[in-house]
């Protein structure tokens, strides 16, 4: 297991092994992200495969696209295995129980994707890395073989990501594993600080053993500052989406018990929860800075928390629109209203663009707020 890395569950381990076997069977020189996508699409009854199926992506479609693109030299070149990315051999040992002559190296894109999947498991408050986290990570980078495949299939990445999170929310509610945004934020930030602090300890130990002089390493509070800038926006973005879908699943479950909820009551619940999320975001950030690292003098101001909270609320309402659009789309599909479906598709595209802009605004807001903090504490 990688230091500071969440556990890889057995289903994901099997997914990666199948990807390696498929790469070997097709005489590939490495296991690429396209093999991970194909392996996920081949699965049955998983969140990842269900999300892909909802976008009409199955294993046959992925395989056909891979074969078509493989004839293009730049397709494989965009994801070579140079063995220059740290952790290649470690990740191989993590994902394969035994080494063999048939085991191919991972591409640099796969290594980065697995690391990103670990991040997603933290953003979503889950202790194990699974196939859904892997698929979310695959969607993050368009400059990979998977990115090329999905681009050729004209897949709306933002909408597919929403589907994954929605299915994940349903599973969390069913399994009783849902956590609040405040808890996930506080726990995730602390884990990320500890993860990067541990890496610095390793560097210091190596320097001591080799009697090499190194520049002064950053202190833990310096790392907290950098972690907030590097990870906080992404954590909030994914958590707000998951919390919105969790609320929708909860309302659906409640309606099944007591009958259809009054529309005014439902709207009030959604609106009230948006305000709670603003508070939870603040409480999570403040908990880490005060309770965990005692950096009270470098806390965000009320105005800065309000800036972050306003973007969080905008994101909440954008995902609320996504929920409404999904319901309308399902209804129109059942009634074969083609003209209405086309209109809804256009609104989906517009919403996807708005969500991208909100994500950028959230990143800029976080950077602006935390860049005002002193980096050397």
215 with 356, same domain: the answer is yes
- Residue 144's nearest CA partner among 303, 33, 291 is 33
Asked if the structure places residue 101 within a domain, the reply is: yes
Whether 353 is covered by a domain: the verdict is yes
Quickly state the pLDDT bin for 6 (edges 50, 70, 90): confident
- Looking at the fold, whether 202 and 291 belong to one and the same domain comes out as yes
* Mean pLDDT in residue range 39-65: 95
186 and 98, same domain (yes or no): no
Region 310-324: what's the mean pLDDT?
96
Are 109 and 32 spatial neighbours (Cβ–Cβ below 8 Å)? yes
If we measure between CA atoms, which residue out of 83, 84, 107 comes closest to residue 30? Answer: 107
Asked if residue 151 and residue 102 are part of one domain, the reply reads yes
CATH number of residue 82's parent domain: 1.10.1780.10
Q: What is the mean pLDDT of residues 187-202?
A: 89
Confidence at 331, pLDDT banded by 50, 70, 90: confident
Is the pLDDT at 377 greater than 50? The verdict is: no
Please state which of the ranges 95-99, 342-346, 349-353 shows the lowest mean pLDDT: 95-99
> In this predicted structure, what is the pLDDT of residue 376?
41
Same domain? For 131 and 265 the reply is: no
- Which tokens belong to 370? 């935390």
Q: Tell me the mean pLDDT in the region 327-351.
A: 80
The reported pLDDT for the residue numbered 186 is: 93
Same domain, 212 and 111: no
Neighbours of 336 (CB within 10 A): 8
- Contact between 51 and 163 under an 8 Å Cβ cutoff? The reply is yes
Is residue 359 pLDDT above 80, yes or no?
yes
Q: Max Cα separation, the chain?
A: 74
Is residue 167 domain-resident?
Answer: no
What is the structure's pLDDT at 89? 47
Question: How much is the average pLDDT of 352-373?
Answer: 92
Do 120 and 254 reside in the same domain of the chain?
no
Examine the domain organization and report whether 227 and 337 are in the same domain. yes
The answer to whether residue 170 sits within a structural domain is no
CA 24, CA 141: separation in Å to the nearest integer? 24
213: DSSP letter: -
In a domain, 99, yes or no: yes
Confidence bin at 30 (pLDDT 50/70/90): confident
Establish if 336 belongs to a structural domain: yes
**Each residue of 253-308: pLDDT tens digit?**
998 898 888 889 999 999 999 999 999 999 999 999 888 888 766 789 999 999 99
In a domain, 56, yes or no: yes
Average pLDDT, the chain: 87
Let me know if residue 238 belongs to a domain: yes
pLDDT at 95 over 60: no
What are 147-180's pLDDT values in tens digits?
A: 999 999 999 999 999 999 999 999 999 999 999 9
Task: Let me know whether 189 and 294 are in one domain.
Answer: yes
Which domain does 326 fall in, by range? 181-371
Say yes or no to pLDDT of 127 above 80.
Answer: yes
Asked if residue 20 lies in contact with residue 96, where contact means CB atoms within 8 angstroms, the answer is: yes
Residues 26 and 60 in one domain: yes
Q: Does residue 66 share a domain with residue 187?
A: no
Same domain, 114 and 248: no
**Residue 248: how many other CB atoms lie within 10 Å:** 23
pLDDT, average across residues 104-109: 87
Alpha helices (runs of H) in the chain, residue ranges in sequence order: 10-25, 33-42, 47-54, 59-70, 73-77, 88-95, 108-123, 131-138, 145-152, 157-175, 181-210, 220-258, 263-287, 302-334, 338-371
Per the structure, how many domains does the chain have?
Answer: 2
The pTM of this model reads 0.90
Predicted confidence at residue 373, as pLDDT, reads 66
């Amino acid at each position: 297991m990688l230091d500071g890395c969440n556990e890889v569950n057995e289903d994901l381990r099997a997914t990666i092994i199948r990807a390696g076997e498929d790469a070997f069977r097709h005489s590939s020189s490495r296991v690429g992200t396209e093999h991970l996508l194909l392996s996920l699409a081949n699965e049955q009854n998983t969140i990842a495969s269900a999300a892909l199926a909802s976008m009409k992506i199955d294993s046959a479609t992925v395989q056909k696209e891979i074969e078509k693109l493989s004839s293009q030299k730049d397709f494989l070149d965009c994801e070579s295995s140079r063995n220059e990315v740290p952790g290649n051999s470690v990740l191989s040992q993590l994902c394969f129980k035994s080494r063999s002559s048939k085991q191919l190296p991972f591409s640099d894109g796969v290594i980065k994707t697995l690391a990103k999947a670990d991040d997603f498991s933290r953003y979503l408050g889950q202790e194990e890395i699974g196939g859904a986290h892997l698929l979310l990570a695959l969607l993050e980078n368009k400059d990979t073989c998977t990115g090329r495949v999905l681009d050729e299939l004209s897949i709306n990445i933002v909408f597919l990501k929403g589907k994954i999170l929605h299915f994940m929310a349903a599973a969390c509610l069913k399994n009783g594993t849902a956590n609040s945004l405040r808890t996930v934020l506080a726990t995730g930030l602390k884990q990320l600080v500890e993860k990067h602090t541990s890496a610095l300890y390793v560097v210091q130990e190596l320097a001591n053993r080799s009697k090499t002089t190194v520049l002064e390493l950053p202190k833990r509070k310096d790392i907290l500052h950098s972690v907030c800038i590097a990870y906080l926006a992404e954590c909030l973005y994914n958590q707000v989406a998951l919390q919105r879908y969790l609320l929708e699943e909860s309302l659906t479950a409640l309606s099944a018990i007591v009958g259809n909820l009054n529309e005014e009551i439902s709207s009030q619940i959604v609106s009230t929860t948006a305000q709670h999320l603003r508070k939870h975001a603040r409480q999570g950030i403040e908990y880490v800075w005060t309770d965990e690292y005692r950096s009270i003098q470098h806390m965000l101001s009320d105005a800065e928390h309000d800036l972050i909270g306003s973007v969080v609320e905008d994101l909440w309402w954008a995902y609320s629109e996504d929920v409404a659009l999904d319901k309308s789309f399902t209804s129109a599909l059942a009634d074969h209203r083609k003209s209405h479906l086309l209109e809804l598709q256009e609104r989906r595209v517009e919403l996807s663009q708005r969500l991208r802009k909100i994500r950028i605004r959230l990143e800029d807001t976080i950077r602006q707020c935390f860049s005002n903090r002193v980096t050397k504490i």
